[in-house]
Structures are given as C-alpha cells and as structure tokens.
Amino acid sequence: MLAACIGHPAWALRAEADDTPAVAEQPPQQISLTDPLPYGLRPLDYLGPGSDDVVRLLGRQLASNEALLRWKPPHGYLESLLEALKVPRESQLLVFSKTALNPALVTPKNPRAIYFNDEVTVGWVPGAEALELTAVDPLKGPLFYTLKQDEGVAPRLIRQERCLACHVGTTTLGVPGLIVRSFVPDDTGKPIAGYSRMTHDSPFSQRFGGWYVTGTHGDVPHSGNLFGVDAAEKFRRDPLAGANRTQLPEPIRGKYLESHSDLVAHLVLQHQAHGFNLITRVGYEARLGRQSNAESLLVRYLLFADEPPLDAPIRGTSGFDEVFSRGGAEAHDGRSLRKLNLKTRLFEYRLSFLIGSRAFGSLPQETRHSVLDQLYRALTSGGNDGPARHLPAGERTAIVEIVRESLPNLPAAWTSRPTPAEDGREALN
C-alpha cells in the first residue's frame, strides 16, 4: 500500500557523486534489526537511477513505443497495465481504511483495489488521478511509481520518492519495504485501532482489518469486512460478524474488475510482503557491511517456523488459488513450492516460493549460499531443534527434492548430499 506522505528519512544519505566510495571490505558491523540503514549509499544508491525492475522496463518500452497501454473506461489504463505486467485480475483485494494515498477518496463505499503478482502491486482508486505501482527491484527492494489516468496524455510511469516517508520504518525493518496493515476503521475509513504489520505469523483473528474479504473459513473469526465506531464492540460480541462472506457488498460490487477480495490472495500477499522485506534487509546488510539477526529471521520465515495452524479449512472465491499455483518452477513430477494446502496451513510444502524470486536470487552469492545452507541443515538435521522442527520428515524430503529440481545455482550441500529419506531416516507424511 502506498503512503500519503512526502519526503524521505534523513538516514537515506543519498550518494550524489560518482566517486562515492563503496563499502570497504572488512568484518561486518554488528547492529540491531531495528537500526536504520543508509540505503542511499553505494552500492545500493536507492534514490538514484539504474534500477532493474519490471515497471521500469515497461516504462522504457512505453517511451520507445515498444509497448502500448489501452485506455478503457471506467478503469482507465488499469486493465491494460495488469496485462502488460502479467498481474492476475483474480488477485484483486479491496482495502477501505485510509492508510495510503488518496485518503479523501478511500472509504468503505469507495475502497482501493490492490492487484499483485510476485514482483508488482498495482493500486487503483475510483476517481483517483493516477494508478499506484510498487515493483520489487532485485537490488534496491520496492520502488514506487505512478501512472497518470489521463486519456489525452501518453502514459508514462513516474518514479516517486514521497512514499518512503511511510515505507521506511520499524514496520518495514528499517529498509524501503512493503506494508500490509490491519486497522478497523470508522464509517469514513479512518483507522480506529489495529496492527501496523501483518505477516503469515499473525493470528487469524487479527487479520484483514480495514479490508473486504470474500471466502469461507469456518468458525474462525477475522477482523475484515467491519467498519464503524461500534465495529470493535460488534466484533467482541459476535466474532463472526464479518466472516464467511462470499460476495462484496452490493453498492461496490460493480465498480471493480472483479467481484471479489479473495481470502487466499490476502494470505499470500501477507506472506510475501514481509518475506520481501526480510530479503531486502538481509541484502542491504550484506552490501553495506552490517550484520544483525536478519538472516536467521529470514531462515525461520522461509520455513514458516512461527506460522499458526489454520483451525478450519479456507476457500477463496476468485480462483486466485489456481492461478497462483500454476506459476513458478516445478519438479519433474509437478510438485512445487507454490502448491497450496488451505486445510491446516497455507502451503503444502513449508519452504517459501520466495527462494525462487529475483530478489532472493540477486542476494550477494555468499549471503544467498549462507541462507540456503542454513535451510538445508535445518531440513536434513533430523532432530527436534532448529527452525524446521515443526516439519515431518516426509515433508522435509519432498522440499529438498523440489528445490534440487527447480532452483538453479544451489550450493554444494544441496547437490552432493542425500535427502533425509535416502539417508535412512523415516519419511513421514
């Protein structure tokens, strides 16, 4: 979600001169995870040019007429932009809390629509002057853009720095990052109370405040679909007040590309947003010569070590689950880290598909190999300690086999050692 703020933090320390020295090769400085990082310094130079994200690529194609965007009322360039960036319509999520750009426009009757894939989010608000985009650059992390909704002007993607005022902070781990919040708002959409960071570790009951949610989830409550000054009390009296909605409210249903705000899409977005922030933090620390506990936290997160179990099966309404599962690399037998479980947990194989992302693949090689080695040791240790202790042996074996066949450039440990089953340990299901 893009922020309605201007400016950027002082610690960005933008590198203006071409002769700005790179970080010296020396033992990393020990810091805390909450310490800010000077992301304006080389080799990052976040605020400078030279990014390598899909939105910038599309921008160059538009400027050279290699790509075209079509205007179509009432959504302007939205549909054509989603097609160009390969963002599925089924990913549509609707947020009605005033926690991003265009707070004057966003209300429960006029929510912001968010569409996303593994690298891009696109935001559209009915009546807004511009579309909002976030692209995950493999070096710099999330970059922010707008596209003016004007049929009479050639479409151009403009990079924005003002979003950093809110998209760098404790919530994003001190680096430019993605934010998924959960705030129950009043009747106008103004937040009353809630949580500034949602991840796959968050309790289900705390999630989706300020968002519409379509999908079924049994008798497990969540905070979505609720607004108004009495919403918190209503939720206390009846935790299922906003639950198991399979359609959007009638007044807003016809405004948007889809008639859904899919529950499964919500869960995937919450997983990947914080996952990308951890990957960005680890990459920044490695390149800037700092070191906190970010790397070990990333290993735990990639293994879903702290994910609470689902207390009831869940089901979306838009078909996003099928679209999402079809993407990404697979093993020879079709198994994939993108396979969803949706009965007791989000994913069937609890190692995040984010290890196949460009952001993870672009980590400095020593850092990438360090994370992968820690993952391999956790998956093959066979003990009751460590970040994979929640995974049965059969699932560990399957994960190792999938990664070996679907992820390139693995460190030697992954390719030269037997899987847990080959090593004589029992393969449990």
Question: What are the tens digits of pLDDT across the range 253-282?
Answer: 889 999 999 999 999 999 999 999 999 999
Q: What is the pLDDT of residue 141?
A: 93
Instruction: Name which residue leads in pLDDT, 165 or 57.
Output: 57
Check: CB of residue 137 under 8 Å from CB of residue 52. Answer: yes
200-250 per-position pLDDT tens digit:
999 999 999 999 999 999 999 999 999 987 877 777 888 898 899 999 998
Of 1-10, 86-95, 101-110, the poorest mean pLDDT is in: 1-10
Q: What is the pLDDT of residue 25?
A: 65
Give the strand pairing for 112-116 and 182-185.
unpaired
Beta bridge partners of 145: 133, 159
State yes or no: pLDDT of 426 exceeds 80: no
Q: What is the pLDDT of residue 22?
A: 45
Mean pLDDT over 19-42 rounds to 77
Q: What is the pLDDT of residue 383?
A: 67
316-336 per-position pLDDT tens digit:
999 999 999 998 889 999 999
DSSP per-residue letters across 68-97: ----BTTTBTHHHHHHHHT--GGG-EEE-S
Q: Percentage of the chain with pLDDT > 70?
A: 90
Q: What is the pLDDT of residue 11?
A: 46
* Distance, CA of 387 to CA of 110 (rounded, Å): 42
Pull the structure tokens for residue 174: 């001190």
Q: Which long-range contacts (CB under 8 A, 24 or more apart) does 372-376 make?
A: 372/410, 372/411, 372/413, 372/414, 373/411, 373/413, 374/295, 374/296, 374/299, 375/299, 375/302, 375/303, 375/351, 376/400, 376/411, 376/413, 376/414, 376/417
110-149 per-position pLDDT tens digit:
999 999 999 999 999 999 999 999 999 999 999 999 999 9
Pull the structure tokens for residue 224: 């979505």
* Distance, CA of 301 to CA of 188 (rounded, Å): 35
State yes or no: pLDDT of 15 exceeds 80: no
Instruction: Name which residue leads in pLDDT, 36 or 20.
Output: 36
- For the chain, what is the mean pLDDT? 89
Residue with tokens 């697979």: 330
Q: Percentage of the chain with pLDDT > 90?
A: 74
50-97 per-position pLDDT tens digit:
678 999 999 999 999 999 999 999 999 999 999 999 999 999 999 999
Domain locations in the chain as residue ranges: 35-263, 278-416
State yes or no: pLDDT of 8 exceeds 60: no
Q: What is the pLDDT of residue 420?
A: 60
Which pLDDT band holds residue 425 (cuts at 50, 70, 90)?
very low
Instruction: Name which residue leads in pLDDT, 421 or 88.
Output: 88
- What phi-psi label fits residue 23: left (phi over 0), alpha (psi between -120 and 50 degrees) or beta? beta
Q: What is the pLDDT of residue 385?
A: 81
Which pLDDT band holds residue 4 (cuts at 50, 70, 90)?
very low
Beta bridge partners of 262: 214
Of 136-150, 236-250, 300-314, 348-362, the poorest mean pLDDT is in: 236-250
Instruction: Name which residue leads in pLDDT, 329 or 297.
Output: 297
* Distance, CA of 12 to CA of 25 (rounded, Å): 21
State yes or no: pLDDT of 418 exceeds 80: no
Q: What is the pLDDT of residue 27?
A: 87
